[in-house]
Amino acid sequence: MTRRYTEEDQEHYERPRRHTRPRTKDRPSYDDAVDGTVVTVDRGRFTLAVDGVRVMAMKSRPLGRKGVVVGDRVRVVGDVSGAEGSLARIVEVADRATVLRRTADDDDPVERIVVANADQLVVVCALADPEPRPRLIDRALVAAYDAGMAPLLCLTKSDLADPESLLSTYRSLGVPWVVTHKGGNLDELRERLSDRTSVLVGHSGVGKSTLVNALVPEANREVGRVNAVTGRGRHTSTSAWMLELPGGGWIVDTPGIRSFGLAHVQPEHLIEAFPDLDEMTEDCPRGCTHGADEPECGLDEAIAEGQADPERVESFRRLLAARYDATAL
């Protein structure tokens, strides 16, 4: 073959006789594709960040049923000008470094990917009004550890209550934390968010939207601009929205997420987030969940021999049990 594929050729090519031949061999090479990041997904339409420009795109046929989610790094061809009415095509999705999942609820084992390639999960929790709900924090932490993401507690409304009693619950797990209040200084939080991709979760009333707007002053304008194209509101169908921080890095707001189903989380995977504890379970009986009711768990032996911090083990087991709690976030 002496010439490159043109756009028309690709369109023609991508209309395959679906079940009669493997497609991977003859796929066009997309030499002209550019890199993009998926910032939000709405009814099969994807908003991408391509070189600082917001570009609308759809999946190309060769991707088939492969899911494309917020945070995905993609290759894209076609019109990437971002001009009104333009539509580019996603032709490749890169392997994901991390995957934050949730099950719709604990009785429904269908996994949904919330965000790909994020490295930090920020659990936003008010210290008062509404009262903190540690079990919900626990569930978000389980999701973070399961995803291989670093957790961060962001405790808001510190002008209303002291953080100490809540923090004591998480100290033995080594969860880092920052404290904020309305109108307060966000420098410490900004530093923790800088140059990484952080997903913010929190139930209503904790001040998450206030934080997002303070961190990304352009947030409302950007969401409005994209919605002008898709004709959707921010709180309707999207469950995640990626926003660029002025100082470098990204945050992912999750306005559509009201629950964190954990049915997909495997205990043997959860303990891998705690290598020191994981090491102590090497001689556990086959199938041991490392929970408090396990008769011969290595964690109990380690406590008895003074090798494990009982509080840390207890906190880990609390997380393990949180998988079975009510799902509301």
Instruction: List interacting residues with Zn ion (CB under 5 A).
Output: 281, 284, 288, 290, 297
Residue found by looking up tokens 């891998």 in the block: 272
Q: In the sheet that 250-253 helps form, which strands lie side by side, from edge to edge?
A: 177-179, 150-156, 120-126, 197-201, 250-253, 241-244
Residue 98 in tokens = 């991390």
- Closest approach, Cβ 145 to Zn ion, in A, equals 17
Which is nearer to Zn ion, 297 or 319 (by Cβ)?
297
Which is nearer to Zn ion, 218 or 296 (by Cβ)?
296
List of residues 6+ apart from 75 with CB closer than 8 A? 30, 33, 34, 35, 36, 90, 91, 92, 94
Residues 167-174: contacts with CB under 8 Å, at least 24 apart: 169/134, 169/315, 170/137, 170/315, 172/309, 172/311, 172/312, 172/314, 172/315, 173/141, 173/312, 173/315, 173/316, 173/319
Which is nearer to Zn ion, 102 or 290 (by Cβ)?
290
Which is nearer to Zn ion, 147 or 288 (by Cβ)?
288
Which is nearer to Zn ion, 244 or 278 (by Cβ)?
278
Output phi, psi for 218, to 5 deg: -85, 0
Which is nearer to Zn ion, 118 or 277 (by Cβ)?
277
Give the Cα separation of 152 and 175 in Å (integer).
6
- Closest approach, Cβ 289 to Zn ion, in A, equals 7
Residue found by looking up tokens 């995977």 in the block: 269
- Closest approach, Cβ 175 to Zn ion, in A, equals 22
- Closest approach, Cβ 265 to Zn ion, in A, equals 16
Which is nearer to Zn ion, 51 or 276 (by Cβ)?
276
Q: Residue 258: which of 203, 207, 199, 209 has the closest Cα?
A: 203
- Closest approach, Cβ 294 to Zn ion, in A, equals 5
List of residues 6+ apart from 310 with CB closer than 8 A? 303
- Closest approach, Cβ 267 to Zn ion, in A, equals 9
- Closest approach, Cβ 283 to Zn ion, in A, equals 9
Q: DSSP state, 328?
A: B
